[in-house]
Amino acid sequence: MKRLIVLLIVLAGGLAAAAFAVASNAAMVNGVAISQDQVSSDLTAIAHSSDYQCFLNAEELVGTGGKTGLPPIDGVGQPTGSGAHPTVTASFASNYLDTLIGHQLVLELAAKQHVHVNPSDLTAAHTELLGQMTAILQDVAGTKYACGTGSLALTAANVLATMPTSFVDRTLQFDATVSMFEEQEAGVGSSAADLENYFTAHSSSFDTTCFTVAEYTSASAAQAAAAAVSSGTPFAQVAAQVAGGGPQGCDILYGISSSLPAGSNIQNLPLGTVSSPIAVNSNYLLIQITKRTPTPFAQAKSEVQAAVQNAGANKARSVINAAEKTAAISVDQRYGQWTPAKAQVIPPSSPLPGDVLNAVVDSPGTGTGQTP
């Protein structure tokens, strides 16, 4: 998954109006304007798509390990479910503007490296985005945060279809640019020849690999199963004793290894050997590779691109963070204030209780029941 993208597009919440009718810029980034109209248009589109909001909430939950979700979007005086969205919360608006600032900086950095996105890059970005969204929606399926239920469960395509074409196109342009920027920062490059050279140097990492898996709810149970294999019981027999265990089919090795925690080192697991227990969330996996065969570059190209992008992700993030702290950025005060030290837009502060007229009427539990 593209963690950088998730980092840049996750939103947070607070309190105030966002859909301003004033023709001005929401922010300036190194002399480039982010228009008020663009921010308002995006916020309106998000506010009117409960499906996209559900996805964003799922993305936040997955990205934070379930610690936080998307805060309320509707602002002051907005009854939930009424359909109209005259306002959104201040932190939602300011953090979305922070998102757009981050996007603009990435586009500038990529332009300096002469990164140019072509139609095939956009097609690849669309496929990758759908894959990322699908994985997130699947992660929350069966929980109270699921987007749709049963036969009505949302797909990634359903979610994107609720957003304006212009919004989706800009998202794909950014995603494709980030991917190519990471490939450049990895020191590999983005051309087909660059990727094929990387593939040639790391071909074993992209072998087509058949594997067997057993999943346990405790480390002790996984260790007991591994001990049984060491004592001579075939792993296929051991794996078949747990729900969902046994042969899992075949896939490109990089795709398997990149989905596991760092340090699992599955790419170096000898053929026919059972791994040590691998902690994944609250469960423990035992994995055995039963077959490995070379994969042609054409078949492995998407995994090669993912590997190169991951190799450059940390450096790209460092470059972006440094650019955020040194860029000339100004923000319309209604969205908050740009803080270079934190490289983020800080939303406007709520008034102190003593500054609020008729605080008793405005306090929770009195008056109309709307948020003051």
Last residue of a domain, one of 245, 261, 293: 293
**DSSP 8-state assignment for residue 143:** S
Q: What is the pLDDT of residue 151?
A: 62
Asked if residues 97 and 335 have their Cβ atoms less than 8 Å apart, the reply is yes
Are 228 and 357 members of one domain? Answer: no
Last residue of a domain, one of 243, 266, 293: 293
CA 131/CA 48 separation, integer angstroms? 24
Distance between start and end Cα atoms, the chain:
40
Are 186 and 221 members of one domain? Answer: no
Last residue of a domain, one of 241, 275, 293: 293
Asked if residues 2 and 178 have their Cβ atoms less than 8 Å apart, the reply is yes
Per-residue tokens: 139: 């992660």
Q: What share of the chain has pLDDT > 70, as a percent?
A: 82
| Amino acid at residue number 366 | T
pTM: 0.74
Distance of CA 85 to the CA centre of its chain: 26
Q: What is the pLDDT of residue 84?
A: 58
CA 253/CA 276 separation, integer angstroms? 18
Which residues are CB-neighbours of 41 under 8 A, at least 6 positions away?
164
Domain range for residue 93? 3-197+303-362
In a domain, 177, yes or no: yes
In a domain, 203, yes or no: no
**Helix, strand, coil % over all residues of the chain, rounded to 5:** 50, 15, 35
Are 163 and 214 members of one domain? Answer: no
Backbone angles phi, psi at 273, to 5 degrees: -95, 140
In a domain, 284, yes or no: yes
Q: What is the pLDDT of residue 64?
A: 80
CA 61/CA 59 separation, integer angstroms? 5
Q: What is the pLDDT of residue 351?
A: 60
Q: What angle do CA 282, 284, 288 make, to 5 degrees?
A: 155
CA 181/CA 177 separation, integer angstroms? 6
Q: Which pLDDT tens digit goes with each residue over 57-95?
A: 888 888 887 777 766 676 655 555 555 556 778 878 888
Q: Which pLDDT tens digit goes with each residue over 263-293?
A: 888 989 999 999 999 998 788 999 999 999 9
Are 25 and 132 members of one domain? Answer: yes
Are 193 and 216 members of one domain? Answer: no
Are 180 and 222 members of one domain? Answer: no
Are 33 and 121 members of one domain? Answer: yes
In a domain, 202, yes or no: no
Q: What is the pLDDT of residue 261?
A: 87
Q: What angle do CA 109, 113, 114 make, to 5 degrees?
A: 115
Are 278 and 190 members of one domain? Answer: no
Per-residue tokens: 172: 């794909």
In a domain, 234, yes or no: yes
In a domain, 372, yes or no: no
CA 142/CA 40 separation, integer angstroms? 34
Q: How many domains is the chain partitioned into structurally?
A: 2
Per-residue tokens: 304: 């090669």
Q: What is the pLDDT of residue 71?
A: 64
Long-range contacts of 155-162 (CB under 8 A, 24+ apart): 156/129, 156/130, 156/131, 157/130, 158/51, 159/49, 159/51, 159/52, 159/54, 159/55, 159/133, 160/129, 160/130, 160/133, 162/49, 162/51, 162/52
Q: What is the pLDDT of residue 26?
A: 92
Residues in the chain with pLDDT < 50? Answer: 1-23, 361-372
| Amino acid at residue number 327 | A
Distance of CA 267 to the CA centre of its chain: 25
CA 37/CA 245 separation, integer angstroms? 53
In a domain, 286, yes or no: yes
Are 185 and 264 members of one domain? Answer: no
CATH (domain of 88): 1.10.4030
Picking from 213, 190, 193, 209, the residue whose alpha carbon sits closest to that of residue 201 is 193
CATH (domain of 239): 3.10.50.40
CA distances from 335 to 7, 29, 169 (A): 20, 15, 25
CA distances from 81 to 47, 102, 109, 295, 372 (A): 11, 31, 41, 51, 19
